[in-house]
Amino acid sequence: MALLRTLVADAVLAGVLGLSVPARGDSLASLPDPTYADPAGNAQTDPVDRRVGAIVYPTLGFPALVVPGDEVRVHVRLADGGVTVAWDLSLVTASDPRPQTWRLVLVGADYDAAGVYRLRGRVPAGAPRDCYDLVVRAAGLPGGADAQPVAVRVLEGWRQDFRFAHIADNQTRDIRTADPSLVGRTLAELRFLDPEFTVFSGDWNYGADYFAEYPENHDIWRTGRLATFLVPGNHDGYATVRSGPAGQPAVERDGLAYWRQTCGPLHYSFDYGERLHFAAVNSYDGSAERRNGRGVTPINFGGQVDPAQLAWLEADLRSATAAGRDTVLFLHHDPRGPYRPNWVAYPFNPLKVVRASQQWNDEASGRELVRLAREHRVTHVLMGHDHEDAYEEEVLHPGTSAQRVLHWVHTTTMAVSLGNRVGYRLVQVQGGRLVEVHYDPPKSQSVPVDPAGNHLRLVEQGPNDGSASRVAMRVTNNLPRDLKGALKFFLLPSSAGYLVRGGLVRRAVESDDGTAVLYVDVAVASGQTVQVEAEPAGAAGGVVPVASSDGRGGARVGPGPTLGRGGRTGCAVLGGGGPPGEPWTLLPLALLAGAAVCARGGRGPVQPRP
């Protein structure tokens, strides 16, 4: 049989999951310069392979968050005068062995003076919560198509209560990283924890060899399947400037140019739901001469924000405040200093490197950034750079009706293991407001990552690529707190449906080739191991509760007694959490939303995949 996607009304979904009324668009708030990736503005004698082509939004480093049934905006830079009218937009599940393709309905297309097509595509109502590559096809594009990996994150709805992750400083190829695979394993851990999205506070690269590091990191994040809003740090923006003809400076390499051609824009902003605004700030701003150096030894590696970016940020914050939104800033350096002035950066003098240990170079821009955070509705400033956790609360307007708290938050490195605590923060949002940024205070502000992989271990038993009938995953939680996460199973087609033990089936859909794709939620108590198994249900008909080997309730996904054998309809029933014979509970309609629902003989509406 083939499992089919179902259409679930927004009102039902909101009522069952407790979601706010969804907005009618994606998360984009501001993209200041849609021409950021143009080759003419990124000239250098040692270029990297371009990963940002015609699609300038959304990208791997600036993804779109969107709800099924709503519109995702797609900005395509194509200098053809606006003659292209035939567009094909698709979402393809990111780096899947058995991908799902969801075609978007084109609902709008405009062409502006900057040579950018502003397209709007409606996401099918049945698209599961997942991360997707964006594929755009049109005759005028080079090769007829362009794509951006992990550029769209489809959510179930705009939640009031959710969590997101804050990471920083993986510095891939850093000589202090004992295990280079730690970055990928940390991303896999985060993928299991399934945050709404992730924000990254700089130092994606190490800076010794951008030609290798930028493509390598792009591939790590592409296969990491984690929607991440990236902003550069000092290690991402080092430049090398030499004396050219007639004494004019010639840029040999420029890390920020590589960033624009690999990840996306250097600064931007996005919204989540009705109440939250996020602004990404490039705190390693300035000319290539200011960032000049060789390898990882620049003259200045402290913070600076140029006047143009400050002007954009002030307008952006003013707009968010007027809309009644709280703002979260994320950047690399701490704008509160200490302040130490810039050295004259050109020509390069290596003797000054040993004296350039400042954290923020340009005092004026640091103080202006702090002023903007204090004067607008900024609740949190999320930073990296120091490779350690730090947290301060600044009480503004104490004793008045305008009193509020501004939180200054550093997170530790996510990979540089030598001499650092490795980890990431999980930020909890309740009622649309950030309420907790710590994991296990006072012991640990960030979730600790064990370089040996023992804190949270995921072990796959059997190939989980659609080639097997039975797949098992073992999840071990040696962290001090209970965890909830999500797993994804790919199984060969089965006419009898499927059994899932050890977890709760959230969605059941089919891939492009008919392979079954099961999204399973898993709870793992501290110090415990959970075995999650998925396999064909067998030839027997009917719907019955299923107990797993450890006595927990299981879930059955497959045809029910009232649905018929020949139909393309599935159902799911959730075990009651105890041994066989105990009362059982039906999986709610809106939680299933991908297989028809057997509600003691009833069923939900079914719609084939577009």
Q: What are phi and psi of 428, to 5 degrees?
A: -95, 130
Domains in the chain, CATH or no CATH each: 31-448 (3.60.21.10), 456-592 (2.60.40.1180)
Q: pLDDT grade, residue 436 (50/70/90)?
A: very high
Closest CA to 293 of 224, 351, 371, 334: 351
Q: pLDDT grade, residue 24 (50/70/90)?
A: confident
Distance of CA 375 to the CA centre of its chain: 29
Position 62 pLDDT exceeds 50? yes
Residues with Cβ within 8 Å of 381's Cβ and at least 6 positions away in sequence, in order, are: 328, 329, 330, 331, 335, 373, 406, 407, 408, 409
User: Is the CA virtual torsion 122, 126, 129, 132 positive or negative?
Assistant: negative
Report the relative pairing of strands 162-167 and 423-430 from DSSP bridges. Answer: antiparallel
- pTM of model > 0.75: yes
Across the chain, mean pLDDT equals 83
The average pLDDT across 90-99 equals 97
**CA 10 – CA 118 distance, rounded (Å):** 26
Contact 201, 332 (CB under 8 A): yes
Q: pLDDT grade, residue 349 (50/70/90)?
A: low
Report pLDDT for 559. 41
Over residues 476-509, the pLDDT tens digits come to 999 999 999 999 999 998 888 889 999 999 999 9
Position 574 pLDDT exceeds 90? no
Contact 316, 309 (CB under 8 A): no
The average pLDDT across 204-217 equals 94
Position 579 pLDDT exceeds 60? no
Over residues 146-189, the pLDDT tens digits come to 999 999 999 999 999 999 999 999 999 998 887 878 999 999 99
b/e map 242-273, b = 16+ CB within 10 Å: eeeeeeebebbbbbbbbbbbbbbbbbbbbbbb
Report pLDDT for 45. 61
Q: pLDDT grade, residue 46 (50/70/90)?
A: low
Report which listed range, 313-317, 352-356, 441-445, is most confident. 313-317
Report pLDDT for 18. 35
Q: pLDDT grade, residue 247 (50/70/90)?
A: confident
